[in-house]
Amino acid sequence: MSFWEYANPVKFMGLSGRLIPVLSVLTALCLAVGILWGFFGTPDDYKQGSTVKIIFLHVPSAMIAINAWIMMMITSLVWLIRRHHVSALAAKAAAPIGLTMTLIALGTGAIWGKPMWGTYWAWDPRLTSFMILAVFYLGYIALWNAIEDTDVAADLTSILCMVGSVFALLSRYAVNFWNQGLHQGASLSLDKEEHVDNAFYFPLLVCIAGFVLLFVILVLIRTRTEIRLRRAASLQARNT
C-alpha cells in the first residue's frame, strides 16, 4: 500500500466516494459548532465590540486562500514529475475554491474595516498582496480555460503555478517595501508570542478545522467531477 496508488483514478474515485460522506458530516459539525460558538459564545471585544467576531470567517478563509495555492503548487509539481492525471485535476479543481476564499477574506476584511479603520479598502501590504493573489488565481484559471488539449493545459498551468508562486512570494515582500501596514499582526502563532485571547482562540481553531475540511471535500468533489468529465469525453470520442 503506497500513497501513490491513489494516482489511479479508479482507486481515487473509490476512496474519495467513501470519504466524502464522512468528511461532509465532520465539516458541517465543525462549522456549525465553530461559528455558533464564535458568534454567540464569545464576549465582545472591549475596543472592537461585536465586529471582532468576523475573525471566525476572515482568518480561516485567508488561511485557505494561501494554502490552496500551496496545495496547487504541490499537485502541479507532482504532475510535472510523475505525470499523475488526478494530481493535475486536483490542482485545477482547487483554483476556483482558492479564488473564492481570497474574495471572502477580502470581503469580510472590508466589512470589518469600514467601522474599525473607517475605510473599506486601504493600500496596505496585506490587503494588496491578497488582491495580487486573486489576480494570480484569475490568470491560472483563465489559462486552464484557454487551452483545449488537456495534457498541454496541465503542463502549462503547472509551469505557470511554479513560476507564479515565486513571483507571488516576491510580490508579497515587495509590497512590504512599498507601503507601511495598517493591518494588525498575526492572530495565531504556534509559539504563542503573539496571540488572540483564549476565548477567541478555541472557537477559531474549530472554525479553521471546519474550513480546512470544507476545502478538502470541495476539492475532492470537484476532482471527481473532472474525472467524470474526462471519462464522458473519452466515451464520446469512442462512439463517434
Partner 1 sequence: MLALFTRDLKLAFRSGGGFGLALAFFLIVVMFVPFGVGSDLTLLARIAPGILWIGALLACLLSLDRIFQLDHEDGTLDVLATSPLPLSGITAAKATAHWVTTGLPLTLAAIPLGYLLNLPEPAYIWLFASLAIGTPALSFIGAFGAAVTVGIKRGGLLLSLLVLPLYIPTLIFGAVSVTKSVDGLNPLPSLILLAGLTLFSVVLMPFASALALKANLN
**Three cell numbers written together for 44:** 465582545
In this structure, what are the phi and psi dihedrals at residue 188, rounded to the nearest 5 degrees? -130, 150
Coil, strand or helix: which one is 121?
coil
Instruction: Work out whether 177 is an interface residue with partner 1 (CB under 8 A).
Output: yes
Nearer to partner 1, 162 or 205 (CB): 162
Task: Output the smallest distance, CB 50 to partner 1, in A.
Answer: 36
Task: Output the smallest distance, CB 171 to partner 1, in A.
Answer: 4
Query: Cα separation of 134 and 56, whole Å?
Result: 21
Among 25, 32, 70, 152, binds partner 1 (CB under 8 A): 152
Instruction: Work out whether 144 is an interface residue with partner 1 (CB under 8 A).
Output: no
Residues 187, 55: contact at Cβ < 8 Å? yes
Nearer to partner 1, 7 or 160 (CB): 160
Task: Output the smallest distance, CB 139 to partner 1, in A.
Answer: 5
Task: Output the smallest distance, CB 113 to partner 1, in A.
Answer: 22
Task: Output the smallest distance, CB 66 to partner 1, in A.
Answer: 16
Task: Output the smallest distance, CB 213 to partner 1, in A.
Answer: 30
How many other CB atoms sit within 10 Å of the CB of residue 32?
Answer: 12
Nearer to partner 1, 135 or 205 (CB): 135
Task: Output the smallest distance, CB 74 to partner 1, in A.
Answer: 18
**Three cell numbers written together for 98:** 482558492
Nearer to partner 1, 172 or 183 (CB): 172
Instruction: Work out whether 174 is an interface residue with partner 1 (CB under 8 A).
Output: yes
Return the closest-CA partner of residue 216 out of 12, 14, 19: 19
DSSP code string of 173-191:
HHHHHHS---S---S--TT
Among 136, 200, 211, 215, binds partner 1 (CB under 8 A): 136
What distances in angstroms separate CA 42 from CA 52, 78, 97, 125, one per listed residue? Answer: 10, 43, 29, 30
How many other CB atoms sit within 10 Å of the CB of residue 159?
Answer: 13
**Three cell numbers written together for 189:** 502563532
Return the closest-CA partner of residue 133 out of 235, 194, 62, 234: 62
Instruction: Work out whether 87 is an interface residue with partner 1 (CB under 8 A).
Output: no
How many other CB atoms sit within 10 Å of the CB of residue 222?
Answer: 18
Scanning 12-20, 136-144, 188-196, 220-228 for contacts with partner 1 by CB under 8 A, the matching segment is 136-144
| Contacts to partner 1 by CB under 8 A | 132, 135-136, 138-139, 142-143, 146-147, 152, 155-156, 159-160, 162-164, 167-168, 170-171, 174-175, 177-178
